[in-house]
Amino acid sequence: MNSAKEQLEEMGWLEVMLRKHSRENSVAKVVRVEIEPAVAKGENYASVVTRAKVHIVIGSGRRTVKSVIIKRLPEKELYSKFLEEYSLFKTETKMYADVLSEMEYLMLEKGDMDEKLWPEYVGHKAYDTIIFNDLREMNYSVVDRKEMLDEAHGYLAIRSLARFHAMSVIMRIRGIINPTDFAPMFFISNTKATNNLIKGGMKLLARVMKDSWGPEWIDTAERIANAEATCCDKLEELRQVDDQKLNVLNHGDFWTSNILFKYSPCSGHDYPIGIRFVDFQMCHWNSYAFDVIHFLYVSLQYELRLSQYEKLIEAYHESLLFTLKFYDYDSEKIPSLQDVFDELQQKSFYAFICLAAILPVVSTPATNALDLEKLMLDGDDVIGHNPEIYRYDVYKRRMKIELTQFVRDGII
């Protein structure tokens, strides 16, 4: 064993080297900035996202380029009003500045060697701008939202979601997360925009189905039209938090375009080896079932979900338990596998909402599926929707299978 003197000398030498390394690689000067759009039209409805290529001089005197993502409030008045009314930017700022940073410390503390599930936070301007590192520089990319996620991507995503949920439980125990700091679940918040999104989507689906899907769908169209009248009341009931069960911080919008994957150079884009989540604007404290349902019904290829539903839930449950135990969480609230199945079944009406009002918006080839400004207006609640999204053959084929089951189960 080294003597105390040798240990001090070693510490001093390491400190000098680390300071030198940090100084040489720190930003000394920004030379110029190039701005370009970071997401395609139709990929993000709630913000303006740009990529900034920043030409810099670092401490060593070398020139290099660093890429960051800048996320801003839209300039359009109603867009900004929409985001401010629902505190979406404030929520995401809190997530990056407070919650996710503490999750990183938790990982270090417990020796969690897995990669974190979010981008590197750079900074923010309250509450209209957030900057974080560009995941493209680390070879992360999104899957085409129209293609949706296959088996390899789907299992990695749902296991990682469970890991995020479990870590949020620890953050709650430590007082980092206060459920009252987060608004209720956005998609069932019983507000003007969400009512128009959900009720308008159901109403338009029923209308298009009755007019163009064929006479055999008239009865189902009428069922959907009838369900539209009470859907917000049902969702309001579903979103009530049951403190006797395990609750987590939900991502709130866990779908294809908010999940980035990294791939092995040997496998092309067939097999993902890394994953990151973005867009933490809609985080809320509630049952894990909401995130799981949203993911399964909005992001997964439906053939995969239909054929491997039980295995996907088993994968989620296994990852949830492993992570909770890794972080020394021991409580009677830890759900059994059957508890998870029961919780998802109890909230199955939200699965129908995902298929009727959210899936057609996010999976359509159209880039003008939804107009958020019109959703904020009073009047006809279908005005913000493009009816064409309910006429695409791929959506119709999927829904005809799904709706039959929902009718059979008495959900609609």
CA-nearest of 100, 87, 97, 103 to 122 is 97
Which pLDDT does position 2 carry in this prediction? 61
Looking at the structure of the chain, the number of domains it has is 2
Return the bridge partners of 140, or none: 262
Q: pLDDT per residue over 179-211, tens digit each?
A: 999 988 887 776 777 778 888 889 999 999 999
Which of these three, 72, 96, 127, is where a domain ends?
A: 72
Residue pair 385/358 in contact (Cβ under 8 Å)? The answer is: no
Which pLDDT does position 329 carry in this prediction? 95
Show the tokens assigned to 252: 């709130």
Task: Say if residue 63 is in the same domain as residue 94.
Answer: no
The confidence band for 228, taking pLDDT boundaries of 50, 70 and 90, is confident
Task: Say if residue 190 is in the same domain as residue 263.
Answer: yes
Task: Say if residue 16 is in the same domain as residue 113.
Answer: no
Q: Which of 16-20, 131-135, 171-175, 331-335 shows the highest mean pLDDT?
A: 171-175
Task: Say if residue 238 is in the same domain as residue 297.
Answer: yes
Tell me how crowded residue 85 is: count the other CB atoms within 10 A of its CB: 13
The confidence band for 242, taking pLDDT boundaries of 50, 70 and 90, is very high
Which pLDDT does position 48 carry in this prediction? 84
Phi, psi of 259 (to 5 degrees): -130, 120
Phi, psi of 120 (to 5 degrees): -75, 125
The confidence band for 13, taking pLDDT boundaries of 50, 70 and 90, is confident
Q: pLDDT per residue over 275-318, tens digit each?
A: 999 999 999 999 999 999 999 999 999 899 999 999 999 999 99
- Integer Cα distance of 278 and 119 in angstroms: 7
* Residue whose tokens read 């894990």: 288
Task: Say if residue 46 is in the same domain as residue 192.
Answer: no
21 pLDDT exceeds 90? no
Percent of the chain past pLDDT 90, that is, above it, reads 51
Task: Say if residue 12 is in the same domain as residue 93.
Answer: no
The confidence band for 97, taking pLDDT boundaries of 50, 70 and 90, is very high
Residue pair 326/112 in contact (Cβ under 8 Å)? The answer is: yes
Task: Say if residue 275 is in the same domain as residue 376.
Answer: yes
The confidence band for 261, taking pLDDT boundaries of 50, 70 and 90, is very high
Q: pLDDT per residue over 61-92, tens digit each?
A: 888 888 889 898 777 665 666 666 667 888 99
Under the phi-then-psi rule, with left for phi > 0, alpha for psi from -120 to 50, and beta for the rest, what region is 124?
A: beta
The domain that holds 210 is classified in CATH as 3.90.1200
Mean of the per-residue pLDDT values of the chain? 88
- Integer Cα distance of 212 and 226 in angstroms: 19
CA-nearest of 80, 118, 73, 69 to 97 is 118
Task: Say if residue 53 is in the same domain as residue 186.
Answer: no
Which of these three, 24, 42, 72, is where a domain ends?
A: 72
Percent of the chain past pLDDT 70, that is, above it, reads 91
Task: Say if residue 236 is in the same domain as residue 355.
Answer: yes
Task: Say if residue 225 is in the same domain as residue 352.
Answer: yes
Show the tokens assigned to 25: 């690689």
Which pLDDT does position 406 carry in this prediction? 87
Which of these three, 17, 51, 72, is where a domain ends?
A: 72
Mean pLDDT confidence for 263-271 = 78
Query: Residue 395: is the preceding peptide bond cis (ω within 30°)?
Result: no
Please name the helix (run of DSSP H) or strand (run of DSSP E) that holds residue 232, with its range, or none: helix 218-238
Query: Which domain covers residue 291, as residue numbers?
Result: 77-408
**What residue spans of 86-217 are helical by DSSP H?**
88-94, 101-110, 151-173, 192-212
Task: Say if residue 112 is in the same domain as residue 17.
Answer: no
Task: Say if residue 259 is in the same domain as residue 272.
Answer: yes
